[in-house]
C-alpha cells in the first residue's frame, strides 16, 4: 500500500510556482523566503506629549542644578518630519509626532517647568536626568528592514496575507492550487435535485464527497458530475476537461481499462486493503495529466481518497503528502483479522475509545457522516475489546 502511494506521488510532482497577487494566495504554498524591506513603524515617534531633547544635554540635571533648554520648534502628529534638533535645544512634540533627527528622548509636560517670556514659552527647565529612549516608540520596533517574515514551504493563511500587505507586498512567489477535475462514472446515478425515474437509481453523492475533500486539501475543483460508462463518450468528455486539469479523479465501478488505454499510458494495481483501493492510474492527453480512478461506493471512495488521492493533491500543491493525525485509542469491541489486507474501518471516537461502526451492505454517505476516525488494522491482526488500535482522525 505505501509502495503504491509513493509511486503515485512520484508521478505528480509539485506544480511550478509563479508570482501571484496577494488577494489570491490564501491557502497556497510559499516558494520563496520573504524579508521586510521597510521598518514598522516608519519613524521614531513620541509616546507622550512633551519636549524632544538630546539626553547628552541633560547630564547632571537635578533640583539643585536645573538645566534650561530653549524651545526651537513645535512638531505635530500630521506625519511630516521636523527640522533636525540642534544641540542644546528642545522641540515641543504631540503624542505620535515624529521626533526631530538628533533627539533621543521625550520629556513629558509634567516632568519639566516651562520658562515663559512676554511672547510665550521660550524654554524648559529640567530638574532630572533623562534616560536614552525615554517615551519614544522606536523606528522598526515592530518590524525592521530585512527581518525574516516567512520561509519557503509556509502554507499562507489570512494572518500571513495581512502581514505581507502591511509591509507593502502585493504579490509573492507561490505554488498555485492544483486544478482537479472530479467526475463519477455510472449509469444508474442521478444528480441531486432531479427526480428518480427508476427504482434502481440513486442520487450521486460521491462527486460532492470527493470535491469537498479536494477543496479541504487545497485543490481548485472542477466537478463535472456524472459521466456515462460508454468508452467513446467518456473519452470525449474527459478530453474536453484536460485543458484545465492538473489531476483527474474519477469515481466509479466500471472497467475503465479500455478508456484509459486510448488516452495514454496507465497502470493497474491490486492494493491489499479493505475496502478496496484505486485500481487504475494513468497519464492522459498530450500533457500527460495524472488520472486516478477511485472505487464507486461512497465509503470505499472516501477511504481510497484519504490513502491515495489526498497525497496526490497535496504533492501537486507542494505540501507534505501525508497529513494525517494518528492516535492510539481503545477499541470498544472485537475486530476479526483479515489475513491478507489492511482494514480501514469507520469509527466513532470518544473519550471512552473508538467504536467501529456496523455498516449495512449499501452503506453510503449517511453512515460516513457519523464517523470521525478511521481504524487501521494491519493484515492478519485481530483486535480484542479494549485493546489499543491505531486511528486516523478525520476531523483534525
My answer on whether 31 and 98 are in the same domain is no
Q: Cell digits for 366?
A: 449517511
Q: Are residues 183 and 246 in the same domain?
A: yes
Tens digit of pLDDT for each residue in 143-177?
A: 999 999 999 989 899 999 999 999 999 999 999 99
Helix boundaries (H) for the chain = 2-10, 158-166, 206-216, 231-241, 257-263, 298-304, 310-316, 365-368
Predicted pLDDT of residue 6: 85
Cell numbers that stand for 1 in this block:
500500500
List CB contacts of 113: < 8 A, sequence separation 6 or more. Answer: 66, 124, 125, 127
pLDDT of residue 313: 94
- CA-based diameter of the chain, in Å? 104
Q: Are 186 and 303 found together in one domain?
A: yes
Q: What is the pLDDT at residue 396?
A: 66
Are 132 and 147 found together in one domain? no
- What is the CATH classification number for the domain harbouring 185? 3.40.980.10
pLDDT value of position 286: 87
- In tens, the pLDDT along 334-375 reads 999 999 999 999 999 999 999 999 998 888 999 999 999 999
pLDDT digits (tens, 9 = 90+) for 75-119: 998 878 889 999 999 999 999 999 999 999 999 999 888 876 656
CATH number assigned to the domain comprising residue 357 = 2.40.340.10
Give the whole-number percent of the chain exceeding pLDDT 90.
Answer: 71
Rg of the Cα trace of the chain?
34
- The answer on 305 and 194 residing in a single domain is yes
* Statement: residue 58 has pLDDT above 70: yes
What is the per-residue pLDDT for 222? Answer: 95
Of the pLDDT bands very low, low, confident and very high (cuts 50, 70, 90), residue 290 is: very high
Q: Domain residues for 110?
A: 45-137
Residues 59, 119: one domain? Answer: yes
CATH of the domain at 60: 2.170.190.11
Omega cis (within 30) before 223: no
Is 274 exposed, middle or buried (CB count within 10 Å of its CB: 0-12, 13-18, 19+)? middle
Is 0.95 topped by the overall pTM? no
Percentage of the chain with pLDDT > 70? 98
Ramachandran area for residue 170 (φ above 0: left; ψ -120 to 50: alpha; else beta):
alpha
36 and 148 in a single domain? The answer is yes
pLDDT attached to residue 352: 95
- Considering the domain architecture, whether residues 149 and 102 belong to the same structural domain is answered as no
Copy the grid coordinates of residue 270: 491490486
Residue 51: what pLDDT?
Answer: 95
pLDDT of res. 23: 95
Q: What is the mean pLDDT of residues 32-39?
A: 96
Last residue of a domain, one of 287, 316, 345: 316
Per the structure, the count of domains in the chain is 4
- Which of 283, 316, 349 is the C-terminal boundary of a domain? 316
Q: Are residues 303 and 343 in the same domain?
A: no
Say if residue 73 is in the same domain as residue 181: no
Predicted local confidence at residue 118, as pLDDT: 55
223-238 pLDDT, tens digit each: 999 998 888 888 899 9
pLDDT of 62: 92
pLDDT band at 316; cut points 50, 70, 90: very high
Q: How far apart are CA 269 and CA 273, in angstroms?
A: 11
pLDDT at 4 over 90: no
Burial of 78 per CB tally in 10 Å (0-12, 13-18, 19+): exposed
Give the three-class secondary structure for 341. Answer: coil
- Asked whether residue 322 carries a pLDDT value surpassing 80, the answer given is no
Q: Which band of pLDDT confidence, cut at 50, 70 and 90, is reported for residue 120? A: low
Note whether 303 and 188 are same-domain residues. Answer: yes
CB 274 within 8 A of CB 300: no
Shared-domain flag, residues 133 and 159: no
Task: Specify the pLDDT at position 148.
Answer: 97
Chain-centre distance for alpha carbon 383: 37
* Average pLDDT rounded to a whole number, residues 37-56: 95
pLDDT of residue 116: 64
Q: Which residues contact 55 (CB under 8 A, 6 or more apart)?
A: 104, 105, 129, 130, 131, 132, 134
Among the listed residues 238, 280, 283, the one whose alpha carbon sits nearest the alpha carbon of residue 256: 280
Residue 220, Cβ density class (10 Å: 0-12 exposed, 13-18 middle, ≥19 buried): middle
Residue 362 CA to its chain's centroid (Å): 36
In CATH, what number is assigned to the domain containing residue 32?
3.90.105.10
- Domain stop point among 74, 109, 137: 137
Amino acid at each position: 500500500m505505501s509502495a503504491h502511494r509513493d509511486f503515485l506521488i512520484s508521478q505528480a510532482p509539485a506544480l511550478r510556482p509563479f508570482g501571484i497577487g496577494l488577494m489570491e494566495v490564501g491557502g497556497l504554498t510559499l516558494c520563496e523566503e520573504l524579508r521586510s524591506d521597510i521598518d514598522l513603524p516608519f519613524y521614531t515617534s513620541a509616546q507622550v506629549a512633551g519636549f524632544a531633547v538630546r539626553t547628552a544635554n541633560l547630564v547632571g540635571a537635578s533640583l539643585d542644578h536645573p538645566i534650561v533648554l530653549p524651545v526651537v520648534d513645535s512638531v505635530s502628529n500630521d506625519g511630516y518630519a521636523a527640522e533636525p534638533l540642534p544641540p542644546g535645544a528642545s522641540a515641543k512634540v504631540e503624542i505620535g509626532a515624529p521626533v526631530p533627527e538628533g533627539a533621543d528622548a521625550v520629556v513629558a509636560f509634567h516632568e519639566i517647568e516651562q520658562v515663559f517670556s512676554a511672547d510665550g514659552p521660550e524654554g524648559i527647565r529640567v530638574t532630572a536626568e533623562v534616560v536614552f529612549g525615554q517615551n519614544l516608540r522606536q523606528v522598526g520596533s515592530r518590524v525592521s528592514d530585512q527581518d525574516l517574515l516567512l520561509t519557503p514551504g509556509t502554507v499562507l493563511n489570512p494572518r500571513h496575507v495581512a502581514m505581507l500587505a502591511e509591509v507593502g507586498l502585493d504579490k509573492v512567489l507561490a505554488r498555485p492550487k492544483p486544478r482537479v477535475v472530479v467526475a463519477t462514472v455510472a449509469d444508474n446515478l442521478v444528480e441531486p435535485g432531479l427526480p428518480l425515474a427508476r427504482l434502481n437509481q440513486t442520487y450521486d453523492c460521491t462527486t460532492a464527497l470527493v470535491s469537498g475533500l479536494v477543496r479541504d486539501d487545497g485543490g481548485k475543483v472542477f466537478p463535472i458530475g456524472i459521466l456515462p460508462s460508454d468508452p467513446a463518450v467518456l473519452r470525449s468528455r474527459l478530453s474536453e476537461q484536460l485543458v484545465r486539469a492538473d489531476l483527474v479523479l474519477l469515481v466509479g465501478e466500471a472497467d475503465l481499462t479500455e478508456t484509459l488505454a486510448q488516452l495514454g499510458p496507465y497502470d493497474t494495481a491490486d492494493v491489499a486493503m479493505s475496502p478496496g483501493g484505486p485500481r487504475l492510474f494513468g497519464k492522459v492527453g498530450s500533457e500527460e495529466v495524472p488520472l486516478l480512478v477511485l472505487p464507486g461506493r461512497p465509503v470505499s471512495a472516501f477511504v481510497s481518497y484519504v490513502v491515495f488521492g489526498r497525497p496526490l493533491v497535496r504533492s501537486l500543491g507542494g505540501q507534505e503528502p501525508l497529513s494525517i493525525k494518528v492516535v492510539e485509542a481503545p477499541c470498544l469491541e472485537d475486530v476479526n483479522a483479515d489475513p491478507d489486507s489492511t482494514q480501514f474501518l469507520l469509527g466513532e471516537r470518544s473519550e471512552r475509545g473508538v467504536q467501529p461502526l456496523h455498516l449495512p451492505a449499501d452503506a453510503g454517505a449517511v453512515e460516513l457522516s457519523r464517523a470521525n476516525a478511521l481504524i487501521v488494522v494491519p493484515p492478519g491482526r485481530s483486535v480484542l475489546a479494549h485493546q489499543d488500535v491505531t486511528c486516523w482522525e478525520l476531523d483534525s
